[in-house]
Amino acid sequence: MCSFFQITCDGALFNRCLDCFLGKAAYIRNLQDNLDALETELGNLIAKKNDVMRRVVDAERQQMRRLDGVQVWVSRVDAFKTGADELITDGSEEIGKLCVGGYCSKNCRSSYKFGKQVARKLRDVETLIAEGVFEAVATEVVPERAPEPVADKRPIEPTIVGLQSQLEQVWRCLVEESVGIIGLYGMGGVGKTTLLTHINNKFLESPTNFDCVIWVLVSKDLRLEKIQEDIGKKIGLVDDSWKNKSFEEKAVDILRRLGEKRFVLLLDDLWERVDLTEVGVPLPSAQNTTSKVVFTTRSIGVCGSMRARPVKVACLSEKQAWELFRENVGEETLESDHEIVELAQTVAKECGGLPLALITIGRAMANRNTAEEWRHAIEVLKRSASEFAGLEKDVYPLLKFSYDSLQNETIRTCFLYCCLYAEDYVIPKWDLIDCWIGEGFLEESHGFGAENQGYYIVGTLVRACLLEEVEDDEVKMHDVIRDMAIWITCEIEKEKRNFLVRAGAGLKEAPDVKRWENVRRLSLMQNQIETLSEVPTCPHLHTLFLASNNSLQRITDGFFQLMPSLKVLKMSNCWNFTLKLPLAMSELGSSLELLDISYASITELPEELKLLVNLKCLNLRWTDTLNKIPRQLISILSWLRVLRMLGTGWFNFLEAPEDSVLFGGGEVLIQELLGLKYLEVLELTLGSYHALQILLSSNKLKSCIRSLYLHLTGDTASIIDATVFADLNQLNQLWIDEGIELEELKIDYTEIVRKRREPFVFRSLHCVRIEQCHKLKDVTFLIFAPNLKSLDLSYCSSMEEVISVGKFAETPEMMGHISPFENLQSLHLSQLPALKSIYWKPLPFTHLKEISVGYCRNLKKLPLDSNSAKERKFVIRGEEDWWNRLQWEDEATQIAFRSCFQPMGVLSGGRKI
């Protein structure tokens, strides 16, 4: 028996199945045509893409940018091409599988799938073309201007040796603090432009809220139009129409455009004030910190005129200098000989931490692989640095711009004069000014004009970074700046200047006197010359420095007789020169204007010095063994403007003979001084309070006094009215010694309050030293010396307080208004066995550098609290036993000052006191 299975299908279902079969068959049947069409359309698509990219590149060169739509479309085309290329490549294999005239396939399943992929790709390429993105790319996408980078990257060495901390400091000012204008100042070659460049490039690395950073090179040839042009380029104002506008119209445009932006303006190499408002730059301020200005300059004075916060770019520390130097020399050179590293460190030190010199000399010494070459380099740098390769070409001319920019010839001459002092020599400002007065550089005038002018010039040179301020009253010349000055005098202006500088050269004999013949200024200071036995012929010699030749014992009598033009003679610090001054010095009578024999071990001045009738400056400082100065010698020097006699004759003061002006404790000397009508500056040593009272009777002499040494041996005064020092308006230094009977430096505090609106009566007093006044109990009068910087008290066995609280019992209101020692930098207390108190409450000591306490066993507490350490840390020296017994305001104070202590007898670096 059998059965049948029957399928029944309606017409609609049949038709759908037939269409599906025929559609699938079409992928196989049309495969060849579709592949050909795909290859053709792909070529068209790539051609269109190339056209678009060409237009995009052209637009980007004009600082346009492609929009995201362009990038998406280009990415789609690239992805499509990759897939289409694969299908076209595999197509020949699939075509080979076809049969029955292309209507069937030996592998229908494979051919169907491949044909379907080809058909889909063909539709995709048509879609890309049909989207019409090409016109959109050309007209809507490409023309949008690309945003400029915040700053234009500037080329710079990647290393930033020694400048990292300053970079961080300036960066904080720019992005955090309310500082509008910052001035980076320092000497030429110190790295100011390098620092500014790193600041510029940092804006590309660190996100900020600023819209643009503008770099402008100003330089010596200041042109406001150029500044406008550089600013205009950066903010998109420079076109033909803008170039034709007036200066004022451009300023308006800049002001309008910058007013819409948060900007940083970087100005490199300012030599004078730039009026930013005139240029069109809206001025930043503490209230308006949306924008900033940073500039570099060699003059701190420019910082002041620009109302900028000054940031000094200083020379590198010894460690940093060595790092930069070895980087430029190269490790291969340093390792080529075991001696070279030590020699190289010596060479690096000769550069004085100046980056430009370190780089120049370092590169010059690269590949110098023998110790002999390095020793030669050291000899050249010490003898005549200008002969060293690279310095004369690359370093000195750059530094000379500062010299050329000085205001006038007088200031330039005064600057060059400084190179006569030895390398690293700390020069008292007054010493320089004395020389300038003696040379006639400063204007002749009555009163204090010449001295004030001298201080103005010193200040100008310090602000121009051609001199470095060591302390308020001392300066020094950087080694490389000094070498540059010598180079100017010997190479650039040798005919005009005629300097011969052998200071600090280690000479035991003077240079051949034949070399002196055409010299105008000769410096042999700081050597070991023992004798000057020849008679030089020096018709043009104006200046002779023989100072600090401690081995000098003899100068031949005729030494000065052929120096008819000599104006300045410095023979200070010649300790072994114990004989009389050479009589031939009197032959300088018509020319010599400055004689400096300070710190010399002479016992008398010869009568022949009366012939020095044109002398303007006489320095006898600390000629402590001098006890005979002939009468009428001082008074006959009628042109004297400066007389320095601090410490003169104190060693034998009581033994001065009657024919000496030092006889009688200085009373005779004062009588002679009264006749010096041109006297401006006076430093004096007096042997009695009575002599001081005679001095105070002359308004003229009171106005001249700068330093006063009261050597009171044998004086019976038990009370000195300290108010008398208030009448010495220019008194800078006060020294009271051996006041055996002196019990009190009295001052009427109630009277001061009543007569004066403010009680600070000793405003000019900077330095006070009191010793061997065994009955003196305090120096409370110093509470009225607000500018006191140095106080030294020693061997005063009865002194119980420095400032006595008891003396304010009648005027307690003053205690709350006076804070003494605000400017004190050093306090030295020694051999004060009764001392219990410096001050009755803690003081801030904002400028203090050191306190030294020796053998003050009853001083159990210092006027310090935790606030005293906030501004700065200072050194405290004393015996360890004393330090361990100190009582402190609280534990926080003890902790704050624990690291400040140094045992008495040893300074930092292991040097003995």
pLDDT of 590: 84
Residue % of the chain over a pLDDT of 70? 85
Residue 388: band (very low, low, confident or very high) from pLDDT cuts 50, 70, 90: confident
Write the CB contacts of 137 (distance below 8 Å, at least 6 apart in sequence).
52, 55, 56, 69, 70, 73
Confidence band of 145 (pLDDT split at 50, 70, 90): low
Backbone angles phi, psi at 126, to 5 degrees: -65, -35
Q: What is the mean pLDDT of residues 63-80?
A: 73
Contact 686, 656 (CB under 8 A): no
Q: Are strands 617-619 and 642-644 parallel, antiparallel or unpaired?
A: parallel
Span 876-896, mean pLDDT? 92
CATH of the domain at 285: 3.40.50.300
Residue pLDDT, tens place only, 671-714: 999 999 999 999 999 998 899 999 999 999 999 999 999 999 87
Residue type for 319, please?
K
Q: How confident is the model at residue 1 (pLDDT cuts 50, 70, 90)?
A: very low
Shared-domain flag, residues 569 and 520:
yes
Of all residues in the chain, what percent carry a pLDDT higher than 90? 56
The tens digit of pLDDT for each residue in 200-249 reads 999 998 888 898 999 999 988 889 999 999 999 999 887 888 888 999 99
- Is residue 769 in some structural domain? yes
22 C-beta neighbours (distance < 10 Å), count: 10
> What is the b/e burial string over 272-294, where b = at least 16 CB atoms within 10 angstroms of the residue's CB?
eebebeebbbbebeeeebebbbb
Looking at the structure, tell me whether residues 761 and 908 fall in a common domain: yes
* E strands in 568-704: 568-570, 594-596, 617-619, 642-644, 681-686
User: Among 119-128, 491-500, 676-685, 899-908, which stretch is predicted with the lowest mean pLDDT?
Assistant: 899-908
Q: CATH number, domain at 519? A: 3.80.10.10
Assess whether 908 and 810 both reside in one domain.
yes
What token pair was written down for 172?
């904080």
The CATH number for 440's domain is 1.10.10.10
pLDDT for the residue 101: 53
Q: Is residue 113 part of a domain?
A: yes
Inter-axis angle of helices 11-29 and 108-130, to 10 degrees? 80
Q: Supply the pTM of this predicted model.
A: 0.80
Residues 488 and 594 in one domain: no
Same domain for 397 and 299: no
Q: What is the pLDDT of residues 296-351, one digit of tens each?
A: 999 999 999 999 999 999 999 999 999 999 999 999 999 998 899 999 999 999 99
State mean pLDDT over 488-504. Answer: 85
Domain check: are 293 and 367 in the same one?
no
Cα separation of the two ends of the chain: 136
CB contact burial 221-249 (16+ within 10 A = b; e otherwise): eeebeebbbbbbebbebeeeeeeeeeeee
Collapse the DSSP code of 648 into the 3-class scheme (helix H, G, I; strand E, B; otherwise coil) and give the result. Answer: coil
Between residues 748 and 588, the one the model is more confident about: 588
Among candidate residues 493, 526, 554, the one where a domain is terminated: 493
191 CB contacts (<8 Å, ≥6 apart)? 162, 163, 313, 355, 356
Q: HSE (CB half, 13 Å, CA atoms) of 670?
A: 25
Asked if residue 700 belongs to a domain, the reply is no
* Same domain, yes or no: 769 and 890: yes
Residue 734: inside a domain? no
**Segments in 366-503 forming alpha helices (H):** 371-384, 396-404, 409-417, 429-439, 449-463, 479-487, 494-497
Domain-located, residue 814? yes
The domain tally of the chain equals: 6
Residue ending a domain, among 437, 465, 493, is: 493
Whether residue 157 is contained in a domain is answered as no
The residue with greater pLDDT, 66 or 300, is 300
> 71 — alpha (psi -120 to 50), left (phi > 0) or beta?
alpha
Burial letters 89-107, b for 16+ CB under 10 A, else e: eebeebeebbeeeeeebee
Last-in-domain residue among 88, 106, 141:
141
Rounded Cα–Cα distance for residues 157 and 555 (Å): 56
Query: What is the average pLDDT value for the chain, to the nearest integer?
Result: 85
For residue 349, give Cα distances in angstroms to 191, 334, 514: 18, 16, 34
Q: Which residues contact 408 (CB under 8 A, 6 or more apart)?
A: none
Whether residues 895 and 806 share a domain: the answer is: yes
User: 90 or 827, which is more confident?
Assistant: 827
pLDDT tens digit sequence for 520-542: 999 999 999 999 999 999 999 99
How does residue 59 score in pLDDT terms, banded at 50, 70 and 90? Answer: low
Query: Comparing C-alpha atoms, which of 639, 690, 627, 696 is closest to residue 663?
Result: 627
Q: Is the pLDDT of residue 625 over 60?
A: yes
Any domain includes 378: yes
Domain that holds residue 271: 164-312
What is d(CA 377, CA 358) in angstroms, rounded to the nearest whole number? 13
Residue 805 confidence class, pLDDT cut points 50, 70, 90? confident
Angle between helix 449-463 and 409-417 (nearest 10): 80
For the record, the structure tokens of 643 come out as: 């007389």
* 523-537, 858-872, 876-890: range with lowest mean pLDDT: 858-872
Give bridge partners of residue 266 from the DSSP assignment: 215, 294
- What is the predicted pLDDT for the residue at 9? 43
> 307: how many CB neighbours lie within 10 A of its CB?
12
pLDDT value of residue 195: 95
> Could you tell me if 404 and 297 lie in one domain?
no
> Do residues 787 and 869 share a domain?
yes
Say if residue 799 is in the same domain as residue 880: yes
Of residues 402 and 208, more confidence is placed in 402
Question: According to the model, what pLDDT value does residue 137 have?
Answer: 46
Q: Is residue 689 part of a domain?
A: no
Q: Do 385 and 397 reside in the same domain of the chain?
A: no
In this predicted structure, what is the pLDDT of residue 754?
61
Average pLDDT over residues 479-506: 88
Lowest mean pLDDT among 556-560, 649-653, 802-806: 649-653
